[in-house]
Amino acid sequence: MTVNSLEALDRRHWVHPVANWAGHEKRGVTVMKSAKGAFITDADGHELIDGFAGLWCVNVGYGHESIVEAAARQMRELPYATGYFSFGSEPTIRLAAKLAELTPGDLDHIYFSLGGSDAVDSALRLIQFYYNVTGRPTKKAILSLERGYHGSSSTGAGVTALPAFHAGFDFPAHVHHYVTPPYAYRNPTGSGDAAVIAASVASLRAKVAELGAENVAAFFCEPVIGSGGVIVPPKGWLRAMRETAAELDILFVADEVITGFGRTGPMFACEAEGVVPDMMTMAKGLTSGYAPLGALAIGETVYRAIADNAPAGGPVGHGYTYSGHPVSAAVALEVLRLYEEGGILANGQRVGAYFEERLATLADHPLVGEVRARGLLAGIELVADKVTKEKLPREAKLPDHLFARGYANGVIFRAFADDIIGLAPPLCCSEAEIDLIISRLRKTLDDVM
């Protein structure tokens, strides 16, 4: 089939996720064809370095034969086994145990989903269940950070605090997302680390005081905000938020869908601050995008309370046909082996430090207001004026325009609505590949001047 006829079929039939529907009909699809390591090639034969690891997920890089073999072996032997009731399969059991070992503290109970949105949705439903069966049914309000992203399920998209995910939709009234993010660059209360931490802590306290702790269930946050513009908090922020949530008697849920699996250096971002959340969501790097899978890790207190208080004889009625799919689990086990025994986690840590250094060299560019990075997760905030922090003129800031320039220059990144470039190169990158990303980015910035 020629690219042209594929494009026509796409325009007519595929409703793309998070796309501008009318705009997509006009512009058409960009078809990706093949990939290897950190490089991806489109159907026109244009090879690009993938500075965004797919959708911040292909952490181990493309083209690992051992992952393909793990999937094929599992498909041949047992392509599907339900996890419903008390059935299971070997790779899924092994994966649950491995994740219990890797996640911090007593997050020893693993609930599988198909991706991040339904991991968040599982957390939301199980939090409701937990409070209802333990006699605190008024604890319902869910808090999250301004600019936070927690997926697209019907409640989860409400916990998400990005305008595009709200406009035109309705959400349950118990979701509140007015907790101040650690956004030092545009924080009116001051940019020092202590001021940034204090602003978020005070905001969390104020929100709980306003609603009443007896009405608040949980606070969700990303250890580093991703889709909201890669907002990197100062060291100590995550720990302060975790401790404040505990003090206020609300559950603390760390959404590590992006930050998990080495993206910021350690296996999980919570580790860097010795934080043990009550629940942790993960997806993306868990399979590095080779198969769909997400997970919710549940701490001992919540797990035990649900197990001991669930209505006698009845199931905890939450689950999916593909929860703990054996092929995805086999893929995840091999991906985890590559992080550890294959040295990809260690490579990501070494190259992440180099990436931070090289990225900082872009700060002298006239369009760059701020460069933010933690490991291989970064944001570059563009401005028209470095002193006043005035945003770019409309023409330059159109995300499509920035993205298209980068694409033409052979680098993929994400261009967020707020003049922010997002970067998340695969953890397998070499120093030379990081240099290529940086030089192509600089050229792109010059082009949009």
Q: Work out how close the CB of 407 gets to ligand PLP at its nearest, in angstroms, rounded to a whole number.
A: 20
Question: Toward ligand PLP, which CB reaches closer, 122 or 180?
Answer: 122
Q: Work out how close the CB of 179 gets to ligand PLP at its nearest, in angstroms, rounded to a whole number.
A: 15
181 forms part of the interface with ligand PLP (CB under 6 A): no
Q: Which residue's CB comes closest to ligand PLP? A: 116
Q: How far is CA 248 from CA 232, 242, 364, 402, 403, in A?
A: 24, 10, 43, 43, 43
111 forms part of the interface with ligand PLP (CB under 6 A): no
145 forms part of the interface with ligand PLP (CB under 6 A): no
165 forms part of the interface with ligand PLP (CB under 6 A): no
Q: Work out how close the CB of 292 gets to ligand PLP at its nearest, in angstroms, rounded to a whole number.
A: 8
- The token pair that represents 285 in the structure block: 């790097």
Query: What mask, x for binding ligand PLP by CB under 6 A, covers residues 206 to 235?
Result: ----------------x---xx--------
Which span (37-45, 122-130, 145-153, 196-204) binds ligand PLP, by CB under 6 A?
Answer: 145-153
Contact 389, 396 (CB under 8 A): no
- The token pair that represents 334 in the structure block: 């091999």
Single out the residue of 54, 91, 116, 277 in contact with ligand PLP (rule: CB under 6 A).
116
Alpha-carbon torsion (195, 237, 163, 290), positive or negative: positive
- The token pair that represents 141 in the structure block: 């309000």
Query: What mask, x for binding ligand PLP by CB under 6 A, covers residues 276 to 295?
Result: -------x----------x-
Rounded to the nearest 5°, which phi and psi values hold at 264?
-105, 5
Question: Toward ligand PLP, which CB reaches closer, 369 or 422?
Answer: 422
Question: Toward ligand PLP, which CB reaches closer, 104 or 226?
Answer: 226
Question: Toward ligand PLP, which CB reaches closer, 159 or 445?
Answer: 159
Residues 6+ apart with CB under 8 A from 427: 59, 60, 61, 262, 263, 339, 344, 345, 347, 348, 351, 352, 376
- The token pair that represents 434 in the structure block: 């990081």
Question: Toward ligand PLP, which CB reaches closer, 227 or 444?
Answer: 227
Q: Work out how close the CB of 231 gets to ligand PLP at its nearest, in angstroms, rounded to a whole number.
A: 12
Contact 332, 413 (CB under 8 A): no
Using CB atoms within 10 Å of the CB of residue 49, give its burial: 0 to 12 exposed, 13 to 18 middle, 19+ buried. Answer: buried
Size of the site for ligand PLP (CB under 6 A): 15
Question: Toward ligand PLP, which CB reaches closer, 286 or 441?
Answer: 286
Alpha-carbon torsion (232, 237, 241, 242), positive or negative: positive
Bridge pairing between strands 47-50 and 39-42: antiparallel
Distance CA 436, CA 47 (A): 13
Q: Work out how close the CB of 34 gets to ligand PLP at its nearest, in angstroms, rounded to a whole number.
A: 23
The secondary structure of residue 413, as a DSSP letter, is -
Question: Toward ligand PLP, which CB reaches closer, 151 or 369?
Answer: 151
Across-strand partners of 379? 372, 422
115 forms part of the interface with ligand PLP (CB under 6 A): yes
120 forms part of the interface with ligand PLP (CB under 6 A): yes
Q: Which of residues 232-261 bind ligand PLP (CB under 6 A)?
A: 255, 257-258
Residues forming the site for ligand PLP (CB under 6 A): 115-117, 120, 149-151, 222, 226-227, 255, 257-258, 283, 294
